[in-house]
């Protein structure tokens, strides 16, 4: 496993007791990543490491809550709720899965993925909000009574429809990656009051295969067009049955306005741009499952291609082909640029031949590199807050990421600017003014030369 957590100044919130414990938790997670690679002592080391991580997480939560109370932080109760959910639901559920599977690789990956993602997201949002005077991401959650009712309804439906005895892992699921996921988005709307409900269901691939797949008699352990189509209509019935339990959702007046199959990056983008009113993560025993509700207003920008009757088969086959293609051994390229035009243009230029992901800031770049180490980073040199120079300096300071190749994207081609870029010892630089075909040729040439040296 190549993943590691990189600490940088962006994680500092300026409170010594909190920053010190954050750094310690990062180190513990990194040791657990390393233990996962050592088969001989992996199981024992994971047990001890998880115990150590849990002890420090609990101490950190108490210290953090004491500090918030001392400064009369308005979001204290919300923050306590998030801590309690992680302490009493997420960690115990992940530990139970590890024990039941005897620390199987998939279970270890689940644990590390959820904990690492939770720690990063919580530090960069909830903890920074303490000193920045911002509202919590979860301050717009549904009231506890309705939230609990939805949770119980979903658990009951999972049992009624699939005979799965599920339990909640997180009531504040922040989009942490678990296994190979299928991300399915539905938008319902009412004509009279123009209210919209955006619902995203996340299925771990194994869950679909073990439930819908078995029902329709598919023997393969892989997704195919028939299975995804069946899952779509099953999911629609599932959502309508959940909504029917709650009069406030006006299910009888709602029509399905849009549906999409999302990539993981698109799913993350949705959660980053909108605070969900419900975001639940379940362990069904057959795989992980998440149910997210964003209401009452739909995001302004449409995400993905809408699935309609006349294009359903084409879109599903395209989606499966893209998933299959991304799992083949393609070089992973991360594009970091604050311009959406540059990000989209580079993605379109490279996506056919590379596994491309994009982020819009230095902070997002560090998180992306932490969770999924790329083979090449195309890094905008001129960005606000955290520029290309700072990002490369952080990468080079960490042993695990010191060898990640970086090519700068720059709009400045004068000798002095080029000299500054070259002094940082990147793999090279590309002018944004080059023709797209020339940029593609240079990136192809880089990988050809790299492969020739292997």
Q: What is the pLDDT of residues 217-259, one digit of tens each?
A: 877 778 888 899 999 999 999 998 888 877 666 667 778 889 9
Q: At residue 174, does pLDDT exceed 80?
A: yes
Residue 165 belongs to domain spanning: 144-319
Within a 13 Å sphere around the CA of 307, how many CA atoms are in the beta-carbon half?
22
The residue whose two tokens read 């998933």 is 323
The CATH number that applies at residue 114 is 1.20.120.50
pLDDT of residue 296: 46
- Say yes or no: 273 and 227 in one domain: yes
- Say yes or no: 279 and 307 in one domain: yes
Q: At residue 200, does pLDDT exceed 90?
A: yes
Q: Are 18 and 64 in contact (CB under 8 A)?
A: yes
Residue 431 lies in a domain: yes
Q: What is the pLDDT of residues 131-141, one digit of tens each?
A: 776 667 777 77
- Say yes or no: 35 and 72 in one domain: yes
Domains in the chain, number: 3
- Say yes or no: 314 and 356 in one domain: no
User: What's the 3-state SS for 216-270?
Assistant: CCCCCCCCCHHHHHHHHHHHHHHHHHHHHCCHHHCHHHEEEEEEEEECHHHHHHH
pLDDT of residue 11: 77
- Say yes or no: 314 and 342 in one domain: no
Residue 191 lies in a domain: yes
Rg (CA), the chain: 23
Let me know how many helices (H) and strands (E) the chain has, helices first.
17, 11
Residue 39 lies in a domain: yes
Residue 110 lies in a domain: yes
pLDDT of residue 292: 94
Domain end residue (candidates: 319, 344, 377): 319
- Say yes or no: 170 and 191 in one domain: yes
Q: Write down the pTM of the prediction.
A: 0.59
- Distance of alpha carbon 422 from alpha carbon 409, whole angstroms: 12
Q: Are 261 and 315 in contact (CB under 8 A)?
A: yes
- Say yes or no: 442 and 367 in one domain: yes
Residue 1 lies in a domain: no
- Say yes or no: 195 and 114 in one domain: no
Strands (E), 244-363: 254-262, 278-283, 288-294, 332-336, 355-359
- Say yes or no: 113 and 213 in one domain: no
Q: What is the pLDDT of residues 363-419, one digit of tens each?
A: 778 777 877 788 999 988 777 656 777 777 777 777 777 788 988 887 766 666 666
- Distance of alpha carbon 382 from alpha carbon 107, whole angstroms: 41
pLDDT of residue 415: 65
406: CB partners within 8 A, 6+ apart: 376, 377, 379, 392, 395, 426, 427
- Say yes or no: 183 and 280 in one domain: yes
Residue 13 lies in a domain: yes
Residue 431 pairs in a beta bridge with: 410
Report the length, in residues, of the chain.
Answer: 454
Q: Which residue in 198, 184, 282 sits closest to 235, CA to CA? A: 184
């Amino acid at each position: 496993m190549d993943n590691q957590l990189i600490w940088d100044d962006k994680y500092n919130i300026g409170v010594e007791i909190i920053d010190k414990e954050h750094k310690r938790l990062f180190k513990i997670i990194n040791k657990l990543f390393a233990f996962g690679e050592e088969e001989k002592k992996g199981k024992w080391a994971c047990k001890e490491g998880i115990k150590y991580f849990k002890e420090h997480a609990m101490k950190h939560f108490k210290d953090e809550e004491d500090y918030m109370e001392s400064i009369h932080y308005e979001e204290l109760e919300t923050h306590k709720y998030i801590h309690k959910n992680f302490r009493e639901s997420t960690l115990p559920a992940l530990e139970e899965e590890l024990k039941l599977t005897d620390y199987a690789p998939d279970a270890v990956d689940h644990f590390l993925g959820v904990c690492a993602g939770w720690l990063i997201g919580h530090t960069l949002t909830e903890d920074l909000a303490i000193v920045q005077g911002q509202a919590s991401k979860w301050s717009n959650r549904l009231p506890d009574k309705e939230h609990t009712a939805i949770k119980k309804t979903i658990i009951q439906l999972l049992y009624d429809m699939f005979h799965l005895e599920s339990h909640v892992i997180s009531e504040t699921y922040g989009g942490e990656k678990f296994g190979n996921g299928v991300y399915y988005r539905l938008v319902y709307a009412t004509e009279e009051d123009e209210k919209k409900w955006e619902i995203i269901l996340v299925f771990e691939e194994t869950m679909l295969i073990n439930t819908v797949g078995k029902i329709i008699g598919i023997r393969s352990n892989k997704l195919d067009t028939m299975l995804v189509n069946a899952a779509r209509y099953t999911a629609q019935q599932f959502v309508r049955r959940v909504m029917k339990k709650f009069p406030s959702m006006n299910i009888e007046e709602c029509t399905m306005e849009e549906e999409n199959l999302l990539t993981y990056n698109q799913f993350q983008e949705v959660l980053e741009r909108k605070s969900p009113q419900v975001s639940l993560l379940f362990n069904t025993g057959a795989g992980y499952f998440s149910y997210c509700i964003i209401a009452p207003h739909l995001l302004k920008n449409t995400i993905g291609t809408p699935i309609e009757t006349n294009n359903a088969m084409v879109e599903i086959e395209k989606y499966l082909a893209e998933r299959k293609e991304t799992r083949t051994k393609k070089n992973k390229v991360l594009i970091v640029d604050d311009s959406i035009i540059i990000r989209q243009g580079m993605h379109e230029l490279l996506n056919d031949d590379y596994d491309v992901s994009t982020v819009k800031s230095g902070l997002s770049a560090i998180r992306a590199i932490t969770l999924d180490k790329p083979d090449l980073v195309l890094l905008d040199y001129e960005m606000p807050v955290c520029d290309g120079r700072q990002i490369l300096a952080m990468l080079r300071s960490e042993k695990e990421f010191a060898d990640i190749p970086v090519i700068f994207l720059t709009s400045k081609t004068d000798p002095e600017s080029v000299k500054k870029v070259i002094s940082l010892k990147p793999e090279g630089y590309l002018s944004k003014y080059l023709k797209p075909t020339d940029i593609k040729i240079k990136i192809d040439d880089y990988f050809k030369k790299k492969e020739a040296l292997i």
